């Protein structure tokens, strides 16, 4: 996989010494912890490009290093302002790590900061090619609920729903595979400095796949609840 050039963040003005610094977390002049810059995002906090392939081990190692450096315990004798900055930075670092270590969360976050995340107009609207299957699934769910409330035989209905659960879990794996492929397309576009049209097309595809995944995932969860 192509290795991107190092990320260079724009210079900041340190709140303490008022010198300009290119440090991400600490001032290069006085060593004080820096406030979070307005332009900062989760990727830049880890000095990473806005790409969707992440080496989990490297991310974790960087997180542990920064967690130790930014931990509030290291600032107990600092000024009140620096303690407050440390608390905020430590909290945001945890949020960033939780998001970036999750492949789906990473895609959602990238689209959000790129201004491209658009959820489906109706989360209850099934993808056209799944309409018939979803209709049959909902019928089976209604029948099972009715059988449970009336004390009827639920065994056959449960077997039918277990088969449906496996079927839609397979659909979910298919979407995850497509999402992974589209994520690789995005990273390639970044490496090649592709134009906005190409990037926009990939973002649109990623967005559609996220919506499809969310819908199918909800179907699986609904079936699992009824099978409990």
Each residue of 36-58: pLDDT tens digit?
A: 777 789 999 999 999 999 999 99
Confidence of residue 162 (pLDDT cuts 50, 70, 90): very high
Cα torsion for 207, 208, 210, 215, to the nearest 10°?
Answer: 150
Strand locations in 33-184 (E): none
Identify the pLDDT of residue 72.
87
Identify the pLDDT of residue 142.
94
Query: Worst-scoring range by mean pLDDT, 123-137, 158-172, 212-226?
Result: 123-137
54-81 residue pLDDT tens: 999 999 999 999 999 999 888 888 889 8
Identify the pLDDT of residue 132.
93
pTM for the whole structure: 0.85
Question: Where are the chain's structural domains?
Answer: 12-101, 128-227
Looking up tokens 């409330």, which residue turns up? 149
Residues 12-101, CATH architecture: Orthogonal Bundle (1.10)
């Amino acid at each position: 996989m192509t290795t991107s050039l190092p990320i260079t963040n724009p210079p900041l003005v340190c709140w303490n010494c008022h010198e300009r610094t290119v440090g991400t977390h600490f001032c290069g002049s006085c060593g004080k912890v820096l406030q979070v810059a307005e332009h900062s995002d989760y990727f830049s906090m880890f000095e990473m490009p806005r790409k969707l392939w992440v080496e989990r081990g490297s991310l974790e190692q960087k997180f542990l290093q920064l967690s130790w450096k930014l931990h509030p315990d290291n600032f107990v004798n600092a000024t009140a302002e620096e303690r407050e900055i440390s608390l905020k930075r430590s909290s945001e670092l945890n949020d960033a790590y939780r998001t970036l270590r999750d492949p789906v969360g990473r895609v959602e976050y990238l689209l959000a900061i790129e201004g491209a995340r658009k959820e489906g107009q109706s989360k209850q609207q099934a993808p056209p090619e799944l309409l018939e299957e979803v209709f049959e699934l909902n019928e089976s769910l209604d029948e099972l609920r009715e059988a449970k409330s009336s004390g009827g035989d639920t065994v056959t209905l449960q077997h039918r729903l277990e088969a449906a659960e496996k079927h839609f879990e397979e659909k979910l794996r298919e979407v995850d595979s497509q999402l992974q492929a589209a994520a690789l397309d995005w990273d390639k576009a970044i490496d090649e400095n592709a134009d906005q049209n190409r990037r926009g097309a990939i973002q649109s595809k990623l967005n559609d796949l996220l919506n499809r995944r969310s819908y199918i995932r909800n179907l699986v969860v609904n079936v699992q609840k009824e099978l409990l």
